Amino acid sequence: MSTGKVLQGKENKQVEAEEVTLVREDLESCKIAAENGNRKQATKRRCVGRCDIELGDVSRHNVMQLKRLNMSVFPVSYNDKFYKEVVTAGDLAKLAYFNDIIIGGVCCRVDTVDNQKRLYIMTLGTLAPYRRYGVGTMLLNHVFDLCAKDQQIKSVYLHVQTNNESALDFYKKFGFDITGTVEKYYKRITPDDAYILEKNLE
C-alpha cells in the first residue's frame, strides 16, 4: 500500500478543475456500489473506469497524512496521544484512498460501559471535494462490519457538533438517534455543544 498524499484546504488549488470533474464522475459511479446494500462490496476495493477506491491501514509511515486530513476536515485538533494510539488500532483505524490519494479516514475505539461493549467513532471524515460520492458510507460500513464480527458490541456512538446538519443527516440515514447533549464539549469553537448520536445494534 502506498502511503499516498493528502489533498487538503489550501492545496486544493493545485488540482485542475478538469481533473476534479473527472474524479467526481468516477466517484459518482462508485457511489452506486456503496449504496447498493451489499456491505461487503462497499468495504472492499472497487475499480470503475479510472476510479480506484480502497481502505488501508494506518501506520507510522502514513499517520502524519491522517493528521493533515483531520486538520483539513475537522474544526478541532487531536493530540499526539491520539495519533500514537491509532497506529496500533488495527482495523479500528482506516484510511480511504482514491488512486493513491488519501481522501478520508475513520478512527474508532471500543469502550466498556456498565459491562457492555460499545464502539465509539472518534473521527470519520472525507475531504470536501470527495464528499457525497459514497466514501463516508464506505467508511461507516467498515465500522458496522467490525461490530458484526464482535457480537458483544451492543451499540455504536459518536459526538457531533450541534450545528453540523450534514453530519446529523448522514448518521440519521443509517439509523443513529440523538440520545443526549453534552454542553461545552468542544473548546475554542462555536457552538461548543455536542449531540450524542447512537445506533443500537441489539
Q: For cell 483505524, what's the residue?
A: 93
Q: Which of 159, 171, 185, 195 does the annotation list as catalytic? A: 159
* Nine cell digits for residue 168: 446529523
Active site residue 157: no
Q: Give the pairing type, strands 153-161 and 177-182.
A: unpaired
Please tell me what DSSP assigns to residue 15: S
Let me know if 128 is exposed, middle or buried by CB neighbors in 10 A (0-12, 13-18, 19+): middle
Alpha carbon distance 196, 177 (integer Å): 8
| Catalytic site includes residue 171 | no
Whether the Cβ atoms of residue 81 and residue 20 lie closer than 8 Å to each other:
no
Give the residue numbers marked as catalytic: 120, 159
